[in-house]
Chain A
Amino acid sequence: MPSELQLELVGEQVSILAEKALYWPREATLFVADVHLGKDSAMVASGIPVPLTASVETLSQLSSVMNLTHCQRLVILGDLWHHSLGRTPRIYSEFLAWRRRHIGIDVILVEGNHDIKSGRLTEEANVQEVPECFSLGPFSLCHFPQRCSNGFGLAGHIHPAVTLQGKGRQALTLPCLYIREDFAVLPAFGQFTGCGTVEPTGQDRVYVFADQQVLQVA
């Protein structure tokens, strides 16, 4: 059973979901980052033979967590698409089908560096594209992690992970949610995405994702 943990961010109750998403009940808003749809098809389009399953699975997992939370709004903190090369008609139509399945839900996308390389979304996508530091209640929506003057930053881009160590010279590197004093960095939601290890300091809060569980380690 995938787990979730409650925590408080800038006075708001939020849940961290093991599916690598953040849920804000007061406004029924779900936050994810770095979906990278079409990374697999970008590879295939360049002659690199990789199974074409990651993008479709990612959309399916996104639907699953949207249904689970009954969210009214989905915020994507950048990099929804990976690259224009990978935005094939096949996968774009899967994306539109996914969008139609959740027609009653508002979708906001903060433009990330990969979105710029992927081209503008069509009207049919029905996605509200917003710039960095877009205000949403007490939060400021970003792609790049930064301190925003208009709220507590929620960002992605880094695909954060941390290394844990244990007795017997053990080490484990796991994707995480990384919370600093005035901003938080979400893990990459997309399948087939890599990680960037971060090294937290004293006051930071860190939650790792492993095996359908989310655990606090700092």
Chain B
Amino acid sequence: MGTLAEWLSENPERSGSLAKRQDAPPLRVLWITPLRALAADTELSLRLPLEGLGVPWTVETRTGDTSQSLRKKQGDQLPTVLITTPESLMLLLMRENAEELFSGLRCIVVDEWHELLSTKRGVQTELALARVRQLSPLVRTWGVSATLGNLDQAKESLLGAGNKGAVVRGYAGKETLIDTVLPKNISRFPWSGHFGTTMIPAVIEAIEDVGTCLIFTNTRSQTEIWHEQIVSSRPDWADQVALHHGSLDRETRDQVEADIKSGKLRAVVCTSSLDLGVDFSPVDRVLQVGSPKGIARLLQRAGRSGHRPGVASRVTCVPSHAFELVDIAAARQAASEGKIETRQSLSKPLDVLSQHLVSIAVGTGFRAEDLLREVRTTLAYRDLTDEEWHWVLDFVVRGGEALRAYPEYSRVVLGDDGVYRVTDKDIAQRHRLTVGTIMSDSAMTVQMVNGGRLGTVEESFLSRLSPGDRFLFAGKLVEFVRIRDMTAWVRKATKRSAIVPRWAGGRVPLTTELSHAIRTELEHAKYGELRSPEMETLAPILELQSKWSSIPAQDELLVEQVETSEGHHLFIYPFEGRLVHEGLAALFAYRISMNQSITISIACNDYGLELLSPEPIDLHSALQRGLLSSQSLAEDIIASLNAAEMAKRQFREIARIAGLVFEGSPWMKKSTKQVQATSGLFFDVFARYDPENMLMRQAQREVLERQLEQSRLGSALVRLRGSKLLVTNPPKPTPMAFPILVDRLRGTVTSENLTDRIQKMSLRLEKDADL
């Protein structure tokens, strides 16, 4: 790096160790990492060469895990090299002496930029970087990223709108092998579900002969179940198989990571929590349980194995239900054709911007015009309109339109000197706590009654438990005791339980690229061409699907009409990924409900969607009346997502970031119960009294853009309209329908009178006896 080279040439005589704080130069290099977990390893990796070269620089980390005493020292003088997260960087920028602290900065490195890029934290990083560049105009920015389909855009978002920069690529000569553990008896292999218990013996065989193995699953729940199953099958491996996911306690995760490094562990079952990081461990083998969901993701995980030049990367896929075999075959095919996903930067999220404004106001304060100019240097807010800026400013100062008549409200205050600041200490303190909220879930700590913390579980899961209920968490069987002091207390359980907490936000959808590849594989299968061992293994099930219904070709839209004791089902298969399907399902249900008085329950997965109702749905007349039409699409989508309460759900995240909903911390002295209300309540209040509120509109917009990938939804409709309609009437739900049928996340759209609905329903009286 330039700075280092510069320094080295100026200082030919050097001692052999790192300097003390007071002797070392102040901040010169800022290294931004997305995860606290990576910071420690990064610190080590940076220290070693500096020590080796005898450079008297200090290297330190600053994240949520950093001790109070170290933070205090850093507050007065930062180390020469500081490794930190975007949130902690923001908190540093909020200090009064920020300008002084950053004055000597010459270089910024942002690690794993591809991970942050398409998220709100990435936008927060863009804003923080714009601020840093304001304080240190001479700084040079470097980004480190995995392969993306759109590296140029990734570069621009990091360097600021319109900045050129250069892309440096590593030598890409490595080969990647993708293979599969095939189910021995396909007729016994489940058609749905994610817990793949039938594959356990095969997985155990796969990890038997290797040194260390990473087993990736798609959700935290799956991690818990798979870990438990492996350890139950092989109790002799109890100390050698660990689990790792984002809701486990920090200490536990650190221990697991240390154990991987020291070679103590035979296998670790994990989520994307172990996706990132410098090469810290000798991993021999990588397994991917469940659908890979995307091609880039699969290749990245494969790349964790065999870290030696010349050795190929390899990932072994483990399907947990029948049709995942198609996903795997398709992913391999697409990878061989170089079809890798792109990641887009988010477009001007106003909740992140409003949080940023308050942050600066808490710190140095700002002048409106100057900050607007600064914000517009970022790619995310390059197109921020004056109207949007004024709305956000008004929102943080006066509380927006809803509170126009109430002058006593204040958060950010405009001083006589033209500078906006937060003057109330309580508000400032509460804001500092919310700066990390873009990252966290609404989770509650789980702790053993006579022992340590296990990690966090979503409050919605814990609040439904009764004392004595058992569940599996952090690899342990625990029994719920009580909730007190914002902690859920548990004790060791003796009886087994299959209940595993469910965490929201775990369901990554299929990427467009992989969906497309899957449709191609299925078309080949339709015409009898089974191009891989996975598809050959699946043959008997594909035959059944063909017999009862059909396998769609690429230009066909398959619709299955089935009646069961549950009601009348309509299964539609667009193959556009679960998020787009959520939007399509709500849209279809809404359009249908406009023409007949009906209540439709909707569910979906990555392959398709289900409309379920007590009465049959007239599909043909619905199609005639424009079920797939693009006319008045925008209005219908908005109406449908309100009808299906999707905007309300999206509002949760926005309410948290914009500081409406505040999650207290266990160590806070003041109770915050008086300011707690669920985001759903806020949504209802805003919907009634301030529907034009920009946060409400943002909720809608976000559901449309991010969740439903609106443009993807729009083009999906066009494609579906142009497809040949293939309607079948299978005697029972087909292998393709089954995974959707058993999906528990359901929305409802209704045009029925509420009283009528209630009269048809009955009270859920007793809980399940066996939990």
User: Which listed segment binds B: A41-49, A59-67, A68-76?
Assistant: A41-49
Q: Which residues in chain A, 200-218, are within 8 Å of chain B measured between CB atoms?
A: 200-202, 206, 208, 210-211, 213, 215, 217-218
CB-nearest residue of chain B to A88:
B408
Which of B427, B612, B660, B767 touches A168 (beta carbons < 8 Å)? B612
- B410 cross-chain contacts in A, Cβ below 8 A: 47
Q: Do residues A201 and B766 form an inter-chain contact, with CB atoms below 8 A?
A: yes
A46, A165, A174, A218, most chain B CB atoms within 10 A = A46
Closest beta carbon of chain B to A5's beta carbon, Å: 13
Closest beta carbon of chain A to B593's beta carbon, Å: 13
- Say if the beta carbon of B476 comes within 8 Å of chain A: no
- Say if the beta carbon of A169 comes within 8 Å of chain B: yes
A134 to B748, CA, bound (A): 44
Which of B395, B568, B677, B763 touches A164 (beta carbons < 8 Å)? B763
CB-nearest residue of chain A to B422:
A47
Q: Do residues A199 and B660 form an inter-chain contact, with CB atoms below 8 A?
A: no
Q: Do residues B612 and A49 form an inter-chain contact, with CB atoms below 8 A?
A: no
Q: Do residues A49 and B402 form an inter-chain contact, with CB atoms below 8 A?
A: yes
Q: Do residues B754 and A210 form an inter-chain contact, with CB atoms below 8 A?
A: yes
Closest beta carbon of chain B to A146's beta carbon, Å: 19
CB-nearest residue of chain A to B746:
A169
Q: Which residues in chain A, 24-48, are within 8 Å of chain B measured between CB atoms?
A: 39-40, 42-48
- Say if the beta carbon of B685 comes within 8 Å of chain A: yes
- B660 cross-chain contacts in A, Cβ below 8 A: 48-50
- Say if the beta carbon of B599 comes within 8 Å of chain A: yes
Q: Do residues B765 and A52 form an inter-chain contact, with CB atoms below 8 A?
A: no
Q: Do residues A164 and B674 form an inter-chain contact, with CB atoms below 8 A?
A: no
The 3 nearest A-B residue pairs measured at CB: A49-B399, A166-B761, A83-B674
- B690 cross-chain contacts in A, Cβ below 8 A: 51
A53 to B746, CA, bound (A): 33
- Say if the beta carbon of A119 comes within 8 Å of chain B: no
Closest beta carbon of chain B to A148's beta carbon, Å: 25
- A172 cross-chain contacts in B, Cβ below 8 A: 757-758, 761
Which of A39, A50, A167 touches B566 (beta carbons < 8 Å)? A167
CB-nearest residue of chain A to B767:
A199
Closest beta carbon of chain A to B762's beta carbon, Å: 7
Q: Do residues B599 and A217 form an inter-chain contact, with CB atoms below 8 A?
A: no
- A43 cross-chain contacts in B, Cβ below 8 A: 675, 677
- A206 cross-chain contacts in B, Cβ below 8 A: 763
A117 to B411, CA, bound (A): 24
A202 to B766, CA, bound (A): 9
Tell me how many residues of B have a C-beta within 8 Å of chain A: 56
Q: Which residues in chain B, 626-684, are within 8 Å of chain A measured between CB atoms?
A: 659-660, 662, 674-675, 677-678, 680-682
- B746 cross-chain contacts in A, Cβ below 8 A: 169, 171
- Say if the beta carbon of A192 comes within 8 Å of chain B: yes
Q: Do residues B402 and A166 form an inter-chain contact, with CB atoms below 8 A?
A: no
Interface size class of A (residues with CB under 8 A): 35 or more
- Say if the beta carbon of B184 comes within 8 Å of chain A: no
- 26 CB contacts below 8 A, A to B, read A44-B408, A46-B427, A46-B674, A46-B675, A47-B411, A47-B424, A47-B430, A48-B659, A49-B660, A50-B402, A50-B403, A54-B685, A85-B674, A168-B613, A169-B567, A169-B601, A169-B746, A170-B757, A170-B761, A193-B681, A199-B766, A199-B767, A200-B765, A206-B763, A210-B755, A217-B763
A21 to B504, CA, bound (A): 36
A80 to B548, CA, bound (A): 62
Which of A162, A194, A210, A217 touches B677 (beta carbons < 8 Å)? A194
CB-nearest residue of chain B to A114:
B674
Q: Which residues in chain B, 398-413, are within 8 Å of chain A measured between CB atoms?
A: 399-400, 402-403, 405-406, 408-411
- Say if the beta carbon of A143 comes within 8 Å of chain B: no
- B662 cross-chain contacts in A, Cβ below 8 A: 48
Q: Do residues B689 and A53 form an inter-chain contact, with CB atoms below 8 A?
A: yes
CB-nearest residue of chain B to A166:
B761
Q: Do residues B758 and A164 form an inter-chain contact, with CB atoms below 8 A?
A: yes
Closest beta carbon of chain A to B557's beta carbon, Å: 23
Closest beta carbon of chain B to A176's beta carbon, Å: 10
- A78 cross-chain contacts in B, Cβ below 8 A: none
Known: A43-B677, A210-B754. A49 touches B411 (CB 8 A): yes
Q: Do residues A165 and B764 form an inter-chain contact, with CB atoms below 8 A?
A: yes
- A40 cross-chain contacts in B, Cβ below 8 A: 685
Taking A49-B403, A50-B403, A191-B685 as known contacts, 9 extra A-B pairs with beta carbons closer than 8 A to each other, sorted by chain A number, are A44-B409, A48-B659, A49-B400, A49-B402, A51-B690, A53-B689, A83-B674, A164-B761, A199-B764
- Say if the beta carbon of B759 comes within 8 Å of chain A: yes
Q: Which residues in chain A, 94-128, are within 8 Å of chain B measured between CB atoms?
A: 117
Q: Do residues A192 and B681 form an inter-chain contact, with CB atoms below 8 A?
A: yes
B403, B426, B761, most chain A CB atoms within 10 A = B761
Q: Mark B607-630, 1 if CB is under 8 A from A, else 0.
A: 000001110000000000000000
A174 to B757, CA, bound (A): 12
CB-nearest residue of chain A to B599:
A170
Q: Which residues in chain B, 733-769, are within 8 Å of chain A measured between CB atoms?
A: 746, 748, 753-755, 757-767
- A88 cross-chain contacts in B, Cβ below 8 A: 408
CB-nearest residue of chain A to B689:
A51
CB-nearest residue of chain B to A53:
B689
Q: Do residues B402 and A215 form an inter-chain contact, with CB atoms below 8 A?
A: no
A42, A47, A117, A208, most chain B CB atoms within 10 A = A47
- B567 cross-chain contacts in A, Cβ below 8 A: 167-169
Q: Mark A137-181, 1 if CB is under 8 A from B, else 0.
A: 000000000000000000000000011111111111010000000
Q: Do residues A217 and B760 form an inter-chain contact, with CB atoms below 8 A?
A: no
Q: Do residues B764 and A163 form an inter-chain contact, with CB atoms below 8 A?
A: yes
Which of A39, A52, A165 touches B761 (beta carbons < 8 Å)? A165
Q: Do residues A166 and B765 form an inter-chain contact, with CB atoms below 8 A?
A: no
- A201 cross-chain contacts in B, Cβ below 8 A: 765-766
- A202 cross-chain contacts in B, Cβ below 8 A: 765
- Say if the beta carbon of B366 comes within 8 Å of chain A: no
- Say if the beta carbon of B686 comes within 8 Å of chain A: yes
- B159 cross-chain contacts in A, Cβ below 8 A: none
CB-nearest residue of chain A to B402:
A51
CB-nearest residue of chain A to B464:
A197
Q: Do residues A162 and B763 form an inter-chain contact, with CB atoms below 8 A?
A: yes
- B599 cross-chain contacts in A, Cβ below 8 A: 166, 168, 170
A65 to B662, CA, bound (A): 34
Q: Mark B106-136, 1 if CB is under 8 A from A, else 0.
A: 0000000000000000000000000000000
- Say if the beta carbon of B600 comes within 8 Å of chain A: yes
- Say if the beta carbon of A86 comes within 8 Å of chain B: yes
Closest beta carbon of chain B to A75's beta carbon, Å: 25
A159 to B254, CA, bound (A): 42
Q: Do residues A168 and B601 form an inter-chain contact, with CB atoms below 8 A?
A: yes
Closest beta carbon of chain B to A130's beta carbon, Å: 24
Closest beta carbon of chain B to A170's beta carbon, Å: 6
CB-nearest residue of chain A to B466:
A199
Q: Do residues B403 and A217 form an inter-chain contact, with CB atoms below 8 A?
A: no
Q: Do residues A166 and B681 form an inter-chain contact, with CB atoms below 8 A?
A: no
- B400 cross-chain contacts in A, Cβ below 8 A: 49
- B406 cross-chain contacts in A, Cβ below 8 A: 44, 52
Q: Which residues in chain B, 552-592, are within 8 Å of chain A measured between CB atoms?
A: 566-568
CB-nearest residue of chain A to B655:
A48
Q: Do residues A166 and B762 form an inter-chain contact, with CB atoms below 8 A?
A: yes
- Say if the beta carbon of A20 comes within 8 Å of chain B: no
A172 to B747, CA, bound (A): 11
Which of A42, A162, A210, A218 touches B674 (beta carbons < 8 Å)? A42
Known: A42-B674, A169-B612, A215-B755. A50 touches B682 (CB 8 A): yes
A48, A192, A194, A211, most chain B CB atoms within 10 A = A48
A192 to B675, CA, bound (A): 12
A46 to B660, CA, bound (A): 10
Closest beta carbon of chain B to A80's beta carbon, Å: 15
Q: Do residues B762 and A217 form an inter-chain contact, with CB atoms below 8 A?
A: yes
A50 to B760, CA, bound (A): 37
